[in-house]
Structure 1
Amino acid sequence: MKKGVIAGLIGVVVIFCVGENSFADMQSITVFCGSANKPPMEEIAAKFKQDKNVEVNMIFGGSGTLLSQIELSKKGEIYLPGSPDYIIIAERKKQIIENSDQIVAYLVPAIITPAGNPANVKGLEDLARPGVRVGIGNPETVCLGLYGIEILETNNFLEPVLKNVVTFGGSCSKTANLAALNKVDAILGWRVFHYWNTERMDFVAINPKQIPRISYIPISIPKYTKNINLSKAFIEYTLSPIGQAIYKKYGYLSKLEDAKAFAPQASVGGEYTLPDKYFEIIKDLWKNK
């Protein structure tokens, strides 16, 4: 009889402890994070979990793909695309809380090459040189791709460079890896990619007059958040000296004036729409393959 009572008490204690831990484990957030943020955000998420005892479920990908996932899954505490283009789209689709977005850091376009720049790429004109293998983020789903196409169109390099594109990256990190793994001679990327892996990637500055627009990383709250206080806490942590120091460590620019130093005449933020000419060129290229 005593054994039965003791066993019962142990069972109650176990159930209570498991229940208590389960309740603690319920504190979690899901962050839909554009891959342009991957290195710093992985570190920030780990520190946030350690400091706040909150599980952070990171989902990385192209900004457009992530927005579609939010829309379909109807979940998420944070949406962190790689450019304001997708915040504008998210607001248009009513997928984020209005005016919840804040600026985390600034991004400057650059040409990224494998270490040593084996193809001797010195500027945009070299991306159109016969035989040069070029990589670009998929402009239909990746913010980086939009900026790349905008730069090429603005400087009348759209058709000749697209002829040299051997692959479109599915996210910023996948596009950066094309250069890091020597799969291409150059990509149109963000200057910060070089600092992700300085041993494997170099960057070539684009002529400031050829950069029509610089980007910034916005952080926002999806309308589906199950805990808006945790959403706000994560944003506050990201924008705190702790979060900003991590972004700075990976070469991101926290001040607008620092970003504008690389392209003084460039506009900041806004939205770019792919031109019909892009689709016409792509269609013709596919026909001729």
Structure 2
Amino acid sequence: MIKKIIFIFLILPSVVFSYEIYFYVAASMTKPAKEVVRKFNSQSKVDHIILITGGSGQLLNKIIFSKKGDVYLPASKSFKDKAEKAGIVLETISFLYQTPVFGLSEIGEREIKSFEDLAYKEVRIALGNPKTMALGKIYEDIKIKMPKNLASGIEKNMVVLALNVSQIVNYLKTNTVDAGIIFDSVARVNSFTYLKFPDNYAEKDVASINLLKFSKDMEKVKRFISFLVKNKDVFKKYGFEVIDK
């Protein structure tokens, strides 16, 4: 009787990375972040970036709960402040200006001709959840400065409270809503027509790069942050307003 000997081969990845850097990025910055991460990963032989995207609040909750993460790039100062208050930020670099606007769907373009139409016409509007999304929190601050009848009209026309900007982009692309709050850079990336907030209650926010205390190798993570800053032109290419220092 011939015994068959079965060999089991364990296939290992051809590259073993010495460190994986967890990079948490607000959904509004997904496209340029992906490009920078691809560029870094193609050049690095030992370190590898893992990109995680979502609403700024969602990401912050993940970081705090898991106690895992190296770099956090939320879409607004408010979530950077929350991260600092939670005691998880070691260093911060101001990186981008973010300006909220109302993006319009194809149907919305035909129906909405002025900012006031958002309140005084029967249209469908997507706003953001302030607990999970930077734009939701920013809009709460803007709303305080708006005339009450305008703010209440927009609230009346709200049909969805999104968790992140990717949801709103999808709602606009599919004509699920007529208008949705997004950043001007997101509107440009997706070729949306958009309405600016009137000057007397418009706001410009700051997105910052944050080094997290959970990093196991600060030197490697700082090298990546330096790479990210040096490649800010990628963000400019996608229509973002980069803070030049």
Q: TM-score, normalised by structure 2?
A: 0.87
Which digits, 9 at most, give the CA deviation of each residue in 1:192-239, with x for residues without a partner?
1122221xx21122222221x311110111111122122211211111
Structure 1 residue 114, shift from structure 2 partner: 1.4
Q: Select the residue among 106, 109, 112 that pairs with 1:120.
A: 112
Cα distance in 1, alignment partners of residues 96 and 18 from structure 2: 30
Q: Does 1:191 align with 2:181?
A: no
The 5-angstrom pairing of residues 1-289 of structure 1 reads 21=14, 24-53=16-45, 54-97=47-90, 100-115=91-106, 117-123=109-115, 125-156=116-147, 157-198=150-191, 201-211=192-202, 213-240=203-230, 243-255=231-243
Q: Relative to total residues, which structure has the larger helix share, 1 or 2?
A: 1
* Percent of residue pairs identical: 25
Q: Relative to total residues, which structure has the larger strand share, 1 or 2?
A: 2
8 Å contact kept, 1:118–1:185: no
Structure 1 residue 18, shift from structure 2 partner: 5.2
Query: Higher relative CO (CA 8 A, sep ≥ 6), structure 1 or 2?
Result: 2
Cα distance in 1, alignment partners of residues 94 and 155 from structure 2: 32
**Aligned Cα RMSD in Å?**
2.3
- Which AA in structure 2 matches 1:250? Y
Structure 1 residue 101, shift from structure 2 partner: 0.9
Cα distance in 1, alignment partners of residues 197 and 113 from structure 2: 11
- Which AA in structure 2 matches 1:249? K
Question: Unmatched 5+ residue regions in structure 2?
Answer: 1-8
Q: TM-score, normalised by structure 1?
A: 0.75
Cα distance in 2, alignment partners of residues 65 and 119 from structure 1: 33
Which digits, 9 at most, give the CA deviation of each residue in 1:145-198, with x for residues without a partner?
111222223113332211111111111222222222211111122111122221
Q: Which has the larger radius of gyration?
A: 1
Cα distance in 2, alignment partners of residues 168 and 121 from structure 1: 23
8 Å contact kept, 2:74–2:80: yes
SS of residue paired to 2:204: strand
8 Å contact kept, 1:148–1:189: no
